[in-house]
């Protein structure tokens, strides 16, 4: 089943700027070509996962140099989430992602400078966000079973990336995404008050993003995707909690997405996905 995920791996594209494109002093690369690596190793990693689990994948990755390990772990995280493999579950995805995070932190600890170390911590931050987002039960069409342990792992990953974003001095956009992820896992774990608090933080950070960009700061068809979606989640959590205004707030976000999709051709796909995501989550939590 093909699943369109708006937030998962949204930061992986930026990985080239936070670690994947950096080579340590004296590090040589035996990469075949950019087009082939790391894709060329997918079949081997998949076979190892199917027969020996994530530890076998980590053993394979360990044979490469530092830069290649980062590329392989970034690729493996995307592949084990989005592709089919025998026995597919979130357990392997979690273990591979955590191995990649640990590898990034190991390299950061050994980095020759504070600047280079920060880039490697940012690599771990990227993987941690992607792990948390991938485990969230909010993606339309994603029916792979999630257990309580997966939400707990997603919550930890969100809290870790929030901490690293604070250490790295990130701007409001990354925090908006991270607090959304934390809120989503708290909602899944039954902590509606905690979820609402974090969804509100996410929305407030998206307002900051809008101010920086000179964009609309109120929920409407003219607002940005993240701001509308975040307010939809605020409304949803309020609705779940029984707050009187929650349903209307949620519906306003959905209506803004629908109107924007009709008015702006360049926003149509993203805004329709916003509708699909909010409606998918509503079906799970509003009975």
Average pLDDT, the chain: 90
Sorting pLDDT into bands at 50, 70 and 90, what band is 287?
confident
Residues 6+ apart with CB under 8 A from 91: 54
Residues found in the chain: 287
Sorting pLDDT into bands at 50, 70 and 90, what band is 35?
low
Domain ranges of the chain: 1-170, 172-287
| The dihedral sign for the CA sequence 221, 223, 225, 229 | negative
Tell me what percent of the residues of the chain surpass a pLDDT of 70.
88
- The DSSP annotation for 13-48 comes to GGGGGTTTT---TT-------TTTTTGGGHHHHHHH
Q: 12, 134 in Cβ contact below 8 A?
A: no
Q: What is the per-residue pLDDT across 156-201, written as a single tens digit (0 to 9) for each?
A: 999 999 999 999 999 999 999 999 999 999 999 999 999 999 999 9
User: CA of 117: how far to CAs of 85, 123, 129, 175, 245, in Å?
Assistant: 34, 10, 19, 21, 46
Q: 29, 65 in Cβ contact below 8 A?
A: yes
Q: What is the per-residue pLDDT across 91-140, written as a single tens digit (0 to 9) for each?
A: 999 999 999 999 999 999 999 999 999 999 999 999 999 999 999 999 99
Residues 6+ apart with CB under 8 A from 141: 1, 2, 3, 4
């Amino acid at each position: 089943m093909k699943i369109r995920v708006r937030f998962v791996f949204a930061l992986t594209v930026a990985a080239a700027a936070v670690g994947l494109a950096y080579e340590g002093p004296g590090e040589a690369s035996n990469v075949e070509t950019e087009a082939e690596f790391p894709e060329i190793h997918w079949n081997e990693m998949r076979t190892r996962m199917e027969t020996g689990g994530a530890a076998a994948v980590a053993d394979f990755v360990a044979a490469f140099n530092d830069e290649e390990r980062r590329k392989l772990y970034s690729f493996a995280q995307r592949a084990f989430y989005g592709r089919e493999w025998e026995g597919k579950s979130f357990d392997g995805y979690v273990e591979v992602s955590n191995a990649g995070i640990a590898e990034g932190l190991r390299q950061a600890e050994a980095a020759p400078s504070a600047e280079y170390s920060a880039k490697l911590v940012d690599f771990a931050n990227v993987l941690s966000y992607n792990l948390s987002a991938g485990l969230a039960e909010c993606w339309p069409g994603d029916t792979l079973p999630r257990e309580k342990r997966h939400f707990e792992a997603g919550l930890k990953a969100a809290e870790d990336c929030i901490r690293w974003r604070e250490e790295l001095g990130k701007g409001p956009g990354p925090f908006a995404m991270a607090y959304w992820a934390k809120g989503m896992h708290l909602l899944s774990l039954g902590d509606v008050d905690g979820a609402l608090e974090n969804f509100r933080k996410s929305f407030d950070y998206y307002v900051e993003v809008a101010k920086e960009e000179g964009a609309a700061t109120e929920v409407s068809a003219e607002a940005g995707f993240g701001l509308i979606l975040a307010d939809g989640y605020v409304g949803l959590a309020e609705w779940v909690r029984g707050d009187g205004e929650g349903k209307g707030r949620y519906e306003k976000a959905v209506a803004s997405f629908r109107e924007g999709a009709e008015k702006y051709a360049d926003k149509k796909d993203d805004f329709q996905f916003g509708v699909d995501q909010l409606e998918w989550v509503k079906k799970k939590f509003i009975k």
